[in-house]
Chains A and B, each alone.
Chain A
Amino acid sequence: MAYSEKVIDHYNNPRNVGSLDQQDDAVGTGIVGAPECGDVMKLQLRINETTGVIEDAKFKTFGCGSAIASSSLVTEMVKGKSVDEAFAIKNTELVKELNLPPVKIHCSVLAEDAIKAAIADFRKKQEAKRQQVVAEVKA
C-alpha cells in the first residue's frame, strides 16, 4: 500500500514530537489506544487557563505511519484554537487532509479521541483546582 505524500511528509518530519509536564495544571494529557492493538497515542496540550486557548501541543505515538501522521497533524491543527474549537475537530477532517485509505481510518479516530482525552484531562484538573479554591474560601 502506498502512502499519500502528506502522510510521508508528517512521518519524515513529524511536528511537535515531545512531552509537556504532565503535573502542570495547564497541561491536559490524553493517552489513547493499546499496545496490543498496535497503536498508542499520547497527546499533550498546554492551555491558557484564563483564555482557554491552546498554546502548545506535543505528541508521542506508537503506531504505523498513518497513526504518526494523524497525531502530528493534530498538534498543528489545535494550536491557537480554543478548547471548544479543538473539541469539535472530527476525524473526517484528518482523513481528508492526509488522504487516508479506509483501512487507516481508525488512526484518525484515535487522533480525535486523543484530543478529547487531553481536553477532558485538562478540564478535570481545572475542576479539581476550582474545588480546592472553593474549599479554601469556605475554610
Chain B
Amino acid sequence: MLDLSRPIYLDNNATTPLDARVLEAMMPYLTNKFGNAASRNHSYGWESEEAVEIAREQVAKLIGADPKEIIFTSGATESDNIALKGAIEMYKEKGNHIITLQTEHKAVLDTCHRLEREGVATVTYLAPQKDGLVNLAELEAAITEKTIMISIMFANNEIGVVQPVKEIGELCRKHNVLFFTDAVQAVGKVPIDVNEMKIDVLAISGHKIYGPKGIGALYVRRKNPRVKLAGIIDGGGHERGMRSGTLNTPGIVGLGKAMELAGEELESETVRLTKLRDRLKDELMSQLEECYINGSMEHRLPGNLNISFAYVEGEGLMMGMNNLAVSSGSACTSASLEPSYVLKALGVGDELAHSSIRFGLGRFTTAEEVDFAIEETVKAVTKLREMSPLYEMAKAGIDLKSVQWTDHH
C-alpha cells in the first residue's frame, strides 16, 4: 500500500534519505566512540582514527583512487571551494585562467565569480550544447597558456546529463591543465575511475548518496601529476594541510558506508532506476501532448527526468500534485524570479523553463510510486491546461510568439 501520510519523495537530486545501514554504522561514533581522530596517545583517538581510515578506503575504492588521495570536508560546496580557490592560490606562478560551464552548480560558479572579483582569476564560462553536454572542440579552443584548471561537473543536478568526462580528462592531460569535476550527482550512480578518466580533483557529497548531511570529500591526485591545493581554512593542518579542523568521525564513517553500499548496488540500481525513469517518461509523453525533455536522454543519470509541460507553470503545477515532492525550474520557486539558469543556458525558452519539473528517483522509489506519480502529474497538467489561456490560444491556432505581451516584471 502506498503511504500518503507524506508526499511521495521524488526529489533525490536535491537530497536523499539516510540509509538505515549507514545510520547503524555511524551510531557508535555518535555515542561512546567519541574520540578525536587526531588524539595519538590513547585508545579513544586510535579507534576514531581507525574508523576514519577505513572510510577513506571505502571512498577511494568507489572512484578507483588511493586512500591517501581523499580528504574529508563539510560537503561538496566546501570541496568545490577548496578545489578552485586552492588551485588558483597554489598555481598562480603558472597562470590564472579557469574554464567552466554555464550550467555548473552555484558552488562552482559563485566561487569563480569571487575569484574574478578579487582579481586573481579570469574565468571562461562556456555555453553547453542544446543537449546540455560540453562541446569538446570549443573547450579545447578555450584553453590558453594561462589556463590552470578546467572545472566541469560530472553530472548535472537539474537535468542529470552526464558529461564526456573521459574525453575532457584526455584534453586536460594533453594541454597540461588540471581537471576538476564536481561529481556530487554522479558518484555511486555511474562508474567512476579517476585514473582511466584522468581526473585530477573530484568533489563528493554524503547526502546525495544516502549518507548524512554535512560531510563531503575531495579527491586530490597524488601522482602523475601530483596536485597541490592551498587550504582555505587555517588551523591544525589536518588532511594533509588542505582542510584543517577536527575530523567529523560519525559523518566520515557514514560517508564511507554510503560509498560502499552505492558501489555494491550500482549495477542493479542502474538497471532498476533506468527502467522506472523510462516508464515515467514514456507514460507522461504518451498521455500528455507537448511535453519536452530537457537535456540529453542518452547521456543521463538513471533516476533523473527533467521535463517541461507546455502551457502550464511549474509552481502552479507542483501545487496541483502536492502528493509528490518534486522540484521545478520555474522562477516562482526561487527568490530571484528568474527561471532556471541551467535550462536557459541550454536555450530552453523562458516560457518552457517556467513549465519544467524535475523528477529525481532514488534507492527507495518503488514502481507503485512511479505509477502514482504518472497519474497525479497527468491529472494536474490536464486540469491546469484547461485553466490556461496559453493552451486555449494555442488550440485556437494562435502563434504565441506573435502575441504582444504586456511585460510586468
Interface hub of A42, A60, A67, A110 (most chain B Cβ within 10 A)? A60
A80 sits at the interface (CB 8 A): no
Q: Which residues of A contact B400 (CB under 8 A)?
A: 35
Q: Which residues of B contact A61 (CB under 8 A)?
A: 387-389
With A63-B313, A65-B316, A68-B316 as known contacts, state yes or no: A36 contacts B408, CB within 8 Å. Answer: no
Partner-binding segment picked from A26-34, A49-57, A82-90, A124-132:
A26-34
A106 sits at the interface (CB 8 A): yes
Partner-binding segment picked from B28-36, B162-170, B263-271, B347-355:
B347-355
User: Are B316 and A64 closer than 8 Å at their CB atoms?
Assistant: yes
User: Are A109 and B390 closer than 8 Å at their CB atoms?
Assistant: no
Closest to A31 in B: B389
User: Closest Cβ of chain B: how far from A57's Cβ, in Å?
Assistant: 14
User: Are B316 and A35 closer than 8 Å at their CB atoms?
Assistant: no
User: Are A62 and B388 closer than 8 Å at their CB atoms?
Assistant: yes
User: Are B389 and A60 closer than 8 Å at their CB atoms?
Assistant: yes
Q: Which residues of A contact B37 (CB under 8 A)?
A: none
User: Are A32 and B387 closer than 8 Å at their CB atoms?
Assistant: no
User: Are A38 and B330 closer than 8 Å at their CB atoms?
Assistant: yes
User: Are B390 and A35 closer than 8 Å at their CB atoms?
Assistant: yes
Secondary structure dominating the interface of A:
mixed
A41 sits at the interface (CB 8 A): yes
User: Are A62 and B406 closer than 8 Å at their CB atoms?
Assistant: no
Question: How many pairs, one residue from A and one from B, have CB atoms within 8 Å of each other in the complex?
Answer: 94
User: Are A106 and B386 closer than 8 Å at their CB atoms?
Assistant: no
User: Are B315 and A109 closer than 8 Å at their CB atoms?
Assistant: no
Q: Which residues of A contact B116 (CB under 8 A)?
A: none
Range for the number of chain A residues in contact with chain B:
20 to 34
Interface hub of A38, A60, A106 (most chain B Cβ within 10 A)? A38
User: Are A34 and B406 closer than 8 Å at their CB atoms?
Assistant: yes
A121 sits at the interface (CB 8 A): no
CA distance A110 to B320 in the complex (A): 21
User: Are A109 and B319 closer than 8 Å at their CB atoms?
Assistant: no
CA distance A65 to B315 in the complex (A): 7
CA distance A95 to B386 in the complex (A): 25
User: Closest Cβ of chain A: how far from B12's Cβ, in Å?
Assistant: 21
B297 sits at the interface (CB 8 A): no
Residues of B294-332 at the interface with A, using a CB-CB cut-off of 8 Å, are 311-313, 315-316, 319-320, 330-332
User: Are A113 and B319 closer than 8 Å at their CB atoms?
Assistant: no
B392 sits at the interface (CB 8 A): yes
Q: Which of A8, A17, A33, A63 contacts B406 (CB 8 A)?
A: A33
User: Are B387 and A64 closer than 8 Å at their CB atoms?
Assistant: no
User: Are B387 and A14 closer than 8 Å at their CB atoms?
Assistant: yes
CA distance A65 to B312 in the complex (A): 11
**Residue-by-residue, is A95-126 near B (CB-CB < 8 Å gives 1, otherwise 0)?**
00000000100100110010001000000000
User: Are A32 and B406 closer than 8 Å at their CB atoms?
Assistant: yes
User: Closest Cβ of chain A: how far from B389's Cβ, in Å?
Assistant: 4
With A40-B405, A109-B408, A113-B406 as known contacts, state yes or no: A62 contacts B332, CB within 8 Å. Answer: no
CA distance A68 to B351 in the complex (A): 17
User: Are B409 and A106 closer than 8 Å at their CB atoms?
Assistant: yes
User: Closest Cβ of chain B: how far from A45's Cβ, in Å?
Assistant: 15
User: Are B335 and A103 closer than 8 Å at their CB atoms?
Assistant: yes
Q: Which residues of B contact A19 (CB under 8 A)?
A: 392
A39 sits at the interface (CB 8 A): yes
Closest to B400 in A: A35
User: Closest Cβ of chain B: how far from A35's Cβ, in Å?
Assistant: 4
Contacts from B to A (Cβ < 8 Å): 311-313, 315-316, 319-320, 330-332, 335, 337, 339, 349-351, 354, 386-392, 400, 405-409
Nearest first, the 9 A-B pairs at minimum CB distance are A34-B405, A36-B350, A42-B389, A35-B351, A64-B315, A60-B389, A65-B319, A38-B354, A64-B332
Q: Beyond A61-B389, A64-B315: 4 further Cβ-contacts under 8 Å?
A: A19-B392, A38-B315, A41-B389, A110-B408
27 A-B pairs with CB atoms under 8 Å apart are A8-B319, A17-B386, A31-B406, A33-B405, A34-B406, A34-B407, A35-B351, A35-B354, A35-B390, A38-B313, A38-B350, A40-B389, A40-B405, A41-B389, A60-B387, A60-B389, A61-B387, A62-B313, A62-B391, A64-B313, A64-B315, A64-B330, A64-B332, A67-B316, A103-B337, A106-B409, A113-B406
